[in-house]
Chain A
């Protein structure tokens, strides 16, 4: 029997939402790690019962929790995230040098084949790897020590590795996205990295088309089309057909091309979803109407999807890691808001319903399809 497990990280704990394949009735469990920020929870594709969670607070630092039974029980794992060597400085918001300081893990990305192998994207920007199920962590320093590293600067949320994509056709090929440095790619399992931002243009940096310095909010791909990447940037929705070698804008007829998340339909590689918000300073939907926009043409042409979502007086945001899809026959789409609602659609976005309405601020949403 099929089932869906939605892993929700919030500002005050983690929650697990479960339903059978009909996705009509949901069980809500949590909070896990109550009172702590859970930036991300994610499951291993190789063993769906293996879950990882990033738990942190400004008071007590970073913990990594692991479950081997689908979230019923958890145990703290290793939490020493030490930069390799002397980390040096990056740019602060005002352009002055600022020491590299570990703050938290934003994103956990388990391997497709090994439940004990997991990447962690950190603030200040660095990529860590565990090969023992989270017991110990080693930095892959080639990213942070890229020649451009001293010029990276934080976005409003911090200078973080927030997206980690493992190429489904070759696990040595990685893409990460850093706010506000941009996309970097590696073809050697994270040993060496190169920027992948050609075609991006950003206001707010001295050279709008610079190789590095773009505030990329999220990148996503379909597993069957590893060369095609989609991006929600600070402004602009973008697409690359050559693994990030070049990007072109696909914002098209969106009411605003500012937003945070972007997701790809599980079965249609040209169907993508974004949640436009008004502007860089007005992080809420245009006209107070919460609408997901879907393109079935790989970008350019977009349709609003608001059925079941609040269409008046709605001023929430959807953060970059807070949208995901399931892979049931009719693709389910899920997102969480800064107002604590988690919405789901079991018909690829045509209609929506709240799964839960009053959680703390939602930081992340991941979905496991259990077959």
Chain B
């Protein structure tokens, strides 16, 4: 299982604990994790990426293993520690006040 930490607003929206776990078939990539997350929590569709273009929303960031992986290709494999479940994928709202 892949561990995913959600930002506060999306936890409230999806009715989840801060961290959720999703099952990903095949290579564990950013795209597949988001697909699995939206499958389990349909209310998150459109909140992380555009539903038509599938592009990451501008104020959404992805961190893993203390690195910003927001700008890596969506089909690139995630770090081994995330794939093994040792580390979570952090989904973060950009720090922009408000």
Using a CB–CB cutoff of 8 Å, the interface residues on chain A facing chain B are 34-36, 57-63, 76, 79-80, 82
CA of A327 to CA of B80, assembled, Å: 64
Q: Which residues of B have CB within 8 Å of A61?
A: 46-47, 57
* A63 CA to B12 CA, complexed, in Å: 13
**Size of B's binding interface in residues, CB under 8 A:** 21
* Residues of chain B lying within 8 A (CB to CB) of residue A59: 7, 9, 57, 59-60, 93-94, 96
- A12's nearest neighbour on chain B, judged by CB, is B98
Q: Let me know if B23 is at the binding interface, CB within 8 A.
A: no
Besides A61-B46, A63-B47, 19 other A-B contacts (C-beta < 8 A): A35-B9, A57-B9, A58-B96, A59-B7, A59-B60, A59-B93, A59-B94, A60-B9, A60-B10, A60-B57, A60-B60, A60-B93, A61-B47, A63-B13, A63-B43, A79-B51, A80-B51, A80-B52, A82-B52
- Chain B 1-34 interface 0/1 with A at a Cβ cutoff of 8 Å (1 = within): 0000001111011000000000000000000000
| B86 at interface by CB-CB < 8 Å | no
**CB proximity of A123 to chain B, nearest CB, Å:** 15
Pairwise interchain contact B46-A79, C-beta atoms closer than 8 A: yes
Residue of A nearest to B59 (CB): A59
Task: Kindly report which residue of chain A lies nearest to residue B8, judged by CB atoms.
Answer: A35
Q: Is the interface of A mostly helix, strand, loop or mixed?
A: loop
In angstroms, Cα B44 to Cα A63, docked, is 9
Contact of B59 among A35, A58, A62, A63 (CB under 8 A): A58
A80 CB contacts on chain B under 8 angstroms: 45-46, 51-52
Task: List 7 A-B pairs, minimum CB-CB distance, nearest first.
Answer: A60-B47, A59-B59, A59-B93, A80-B51, A79-B46, A76-B43, A82-B52
Q: Which residues of A contact B12 (CB under 8 A)?
A: 34
**Can you name 9 A-B pairs with beta carbons within 8 Å?**
A59-B60, A60-B48, A61-B46, A61-B47, A62-B46, A63-B13, A79-B45, A79-B51, A82-B51
Closest Cβ of chain B to A363, distance in Å, is 15
Chain B residue at smallest Cβ distance from A77: B43
Contacts of B45 in A (CB 8 A): 79-80
**B8 — which chain A residues lie within 8 A by C-beta?**
35
